[in-house]
Structures are given as C-alpha cells and as structure tokens.
Amino acid sequence: MQKANVEELEKALFTTSKPNEKSHRCVMVFDSKRAITYQHGSHSSFKKDQKVTLYNVWNPKIEIEVVVSVVSEKHDFVVFELTSGEFPHFPHRFESMYRGQYYRQLGINQKREPVWKDGIVSKMCPGYFLGTTHGEHGDSGSGIFDLGGNFIGISVAKKRFAFSNLQITSGPAINLEEVADHHPETKLISADAIYLFLGLEDDANYEPLDKMPALGKE
C-alpha cells in the first residue's frame, strides 16, 4: 500500500470517544457519507436515528455530527450517516472479501494513535469471516483493507473459546479461555455484507437478514 493511501485512510479514522477520555472506541469511515463501528459493549445503546458526534483521530479539532442509520445486533455493527456533505477523507472503492486474501487492519490504540496489522482471511463462516490478525480487546471497529487500499470490511470481535462442558473441582481458579486464547483469530464482517444490509434497509419491502441465506456461508 502506498504512503498516500495509508495517510488518507488514517485520516478517515474517528472515535465515538472524546480525545480526553481514557478509553477510545474506533470508527471507520467507509464511503463519502458513511462510517461504521461495532455494536457490542458501550455501543449497544445506539438507536436508529440517534445523533452522535464523531471525533477525528488525526485532528482532534475535527468533530462531525452523524445520525445512526443502521443497527445490527446480530452482525455486530452500527452505521453512521451524514445528513449533508461528505467526509473529508474516505476510501474511494470497496472490494469483496474472500478466503486466502491478504489484508491490512487499521485501528487505534488507547493513545489514539493509528495502528496497522497484517493478516490473511483464514475462514468463511455463516455471516462472517475469520482473519489471522491477533485479535485484541480494543480492536473492534478497525477497518479492513486489501493491499490496494480498498475497503473490504471491519473487525468486530475476537473469536472466543467456550468451555461449557469442562469443570475443575479442585485447585486454584484458572481462566481457561485466556489460556487457550494465546493467538485468537479476528471476526470480520465483509463490505459485501455491509452494503447488502444497507441496500435492504433502503428497501421498504426487504426481508430481515435472519430470514435470508447466511452471509458468507459456503
């Protein structure tokens, strides 16, 4: 990816948190009028048509008011939309995500600094993909781009391990999820799925996604 593309994409990073807050929540602009983030945790309170202020990562003086246009609890994303004008910086194209694809993940650390990671789309699952970037708490909302800088999706969570059938009756308590979670994969929502959802939301006669074939299912 060329330096100009890197800087353009980094300037398209926002947060829902103010610059002086201790914890920061990533938002990625993905076209001229829309931005996207995850839906879980502190973002689970967002409601459709709610007004929200986004804070730019590169220039903390830039504050942009948007409206929540889509909330998908099932697919774990929230889409924000401008009511007028365009974002000053945004990816100019999107491409499909596919298994075996190399990608770049763009997010932020808790110092509000852009952070890049490399990965490969490792698996296609019903409704989402898995990627090999080391999924860490705080990565949710990161943008996913192909090597040409085209938007291909977002990171919404790290894959979690379940031990519901395993019990330890003696000895010190052990967090088995953390033990197994030594290099967790990252859950990715593809641009195709996001735009499909947006197209359906714009259609008054659309069927909910849970009544349609699962996105990303082989």
* Residue ranges per structural domain of the chain: 3-81, 102-211
Averaged over 158-165, what is the pLDDT?
46
Angle value at C-alpha 133, between 19 and 28, nearest 5 degrees = 35
* Distance from C-alpha of 57 to C-alpha of 63, rounded to nearest angstrom: 10
Residue 182, pLDDT score: 41
- pTM here? 0.82
Helices (H) and strands (E) in the chain, counts: 3, 12
Lowest-pLDDT range of 32-46, 98-112, 124-138: 124-138
**Greatest pairwise CA separation for the chain in angstroms:** 62
Per-position b or e across 192-202, b if 16+ CB within 10 A of its CB: bbbeebbeebe
* Distance from C-alpha of 115 to C-alpha of 108, rounded to nearest angstrom: 5
- In DSSP notation, 54-112 reads EEESS-TT-EEEEEEEEEETTTTEEEEE-SSS--SS--S-B----TT-EEEEEEE-TTS
Region 102-211: CATH code: 2.40.10.10
Average pLDDT, rounded, for the chain: 83
Condensed to tens digits (0 to 9), the pLDDT of residues 59-74 reads 989 999 999 999 999 8
Which pLDDT band holds residue 17 (cuts at 50, 70, 90)? very high
Residue 152, pLDDT score: 97
Check pLDDT > 80 for residue 214: no
Asked if 3-81 and 102-211 have one fold, the answer is: yes
Lowest-pLDDT range of 44-53, 98-107, 130-139, 190-199: 130-139
* Distance from C-alpha of 127 to C-alpha of 121, rounded to nearest angstrom: 14
CATH superfamily of 3-81: Trypsin-like serine proteases (2.40.10.10)
Helix (H, G, I), strand (E, B) or coil at 118: strand
Check pLDDT > 50 for residue 79: yes
Lowest-pLDDT range of 75-79, 99-103, 160-164: 160-164
Check pLDDT > 80 for residue 101: yes
Check pLDDT > 70 for residue 14: yes
Q: Which range has the top average pLDDT, 106-110, 134-138, 200-204?
A: 106-110
Residue 23, pLDDT score: 87
Which pLDDT band holds residue 32 (cuts at 50, 70, 90)? very high
Condensed to tens digits (0 to 9), the pLDDT of residues 163-172 reads 344 454 555 5
